[in-house]
Structure 1
């Protein structure tokens, strides 16, 4: 998500902050009983994997302020991998972390570079709550203030984007960064280090931003 500074000082929760650095990867590929190599951290913790068992890129966290928000200068062009995972996995608002489902369904905003081609709509953008639809649209320049708005009744988990690892001359090393997201069912997921979780929109329709806001009143702001 590419965001710009908000005059009111609001920064989406998923935004990466200065001082939040990628941890040393200390990755290794090990053989498993299924006959495939699987990617691991040498000091792996259960929290390093998502609910589908895919390994996640490590990143540090800055301290939290009294309002429960991350501190540090916002790096508006980046999403923190774990905050993106947290909000996407729980279907919470990417701006405020409140549950995002509205009486009309789940609201997802998409820009021209999102994975929204037919026959399915895939998104790395966590949903937004009714209160922050307009805010999210304004804060994200790649939406250009006029995002494609999807109202979905269902948005099952699809997969992830990240880096594929393999064995090279220097041991375990990155070998590719696939363009399209990999589905969780893909055999390469055993060697994948994920950085963004992807959902597939189902039972959805595209609506105009103002039309949606009108339908959500007085819940929206």
Structure 2
């Protein structure tokens, strides 16, 4: 159950009503050197590609409030692609957008049954959270079901992206596949891939519960 405080709290990354994907406006052209096919927007801008050169899905934005937060009815099960990318790239809290680094490491949440408890490597598209908002995020996000797995990671390098693979068909540029798993950076298919979620790999981490996280964070500050 959401508390009265949490009812008005919406994570920064949550998609809002009125935020919609932009028209495709896509083309595939040869890229020099090698003349490899490359997906692009006809009116492409620098911000359309991430730090590794992968093309990203466009999505409209609602207006911001006085705190700089998005407005509009939350679409709880969805994340805005550019806000997810921003918080994951810069390792900022997915709720408040403040830097997520803590003395213990970065805190990442996952669904209660997403991973084996003895997993040694975790791949996630969920941006980190700060300790202040860890419990709220667990309650607000349907994906976390109020009882998340909590990972404290010392190392979380960029891994790749989730998204959609494009190619040529009878109607020109069209979707040819939507992989279940993220493509790692360096994969050949990323040349004609439209990303919608940035993914990191947790390597040096430990699994804790929420109470242990909050107690440990308080002791470390």
State the TM-score, normalizing by the size of structure 1.
Answer: 0.92
CA distance in 2, matches of 1:131, 1:30: 47
Q: How far did 1:59 drift?
A: 0.4
| 1:31–1:116 distance in 2 versus 1, CA, 3 Å | farther
> SS where residue 4 of structure 2 aligns?
coil
Which residue of structure 1 aligns with residue 34 of structure 2?
A: 34
1:206 aligns with 2:203: no
CA distance in 1, matches of 2:3, 2:50: 31
8 Å contact from structure 1 (residues 130, 219) kept in 2: no
Which residue of structure 1 aligns with residue 22 of structure 2?
A: 23
8 Å contact from structure 1 (residues 30, 37) kept in 2: yes
Q: Extract unaligned runs of 5+ from structure 1.
A: none
State the TM-score, normalizing by the size of structure 2.
Answer: 0.92
| 1:13–1:6 distance in 2 versus 1, CA, 3 Å | farther
Q: How far did 1:5 drift?
A: 6.5
Residues 114-170 of structure 1 deviation map (CA, whole Å, 9 limit, x = unaligned) = 577955210000000121111111112322221111100010000000100001111
Which residue of structure 2 aligns with residue 85 of structure 1?
A: 85
73-82 vs 117-126, which moves further: 117-126
Within 5 Å, give how 1:1-221 maps onto structure 2.
Answer: 7-8=4-5, 9-32=8-31, 33-112=33-112, 114=114, 118=119, 120-217=121-218
CA distance in 1, matches of 2:171, 2:3: 45
8 Å contact from structure 1 (residues 28, 42) kept in 2: yes
| Alpha-carbon RMSD | 1.9
Residues 53-112 of structure 1 deviation map (CA, whole Å, 9 limit, x = unaligned) = 000000011110112111111111110000000000000000000000001000000015
> SS where residue 162 of structure 1 aligns?
strand
Q: Extract unaligned runs of 5+ from structure 2.
A: none
110-119 vs 75-84, which moves further: 110-119
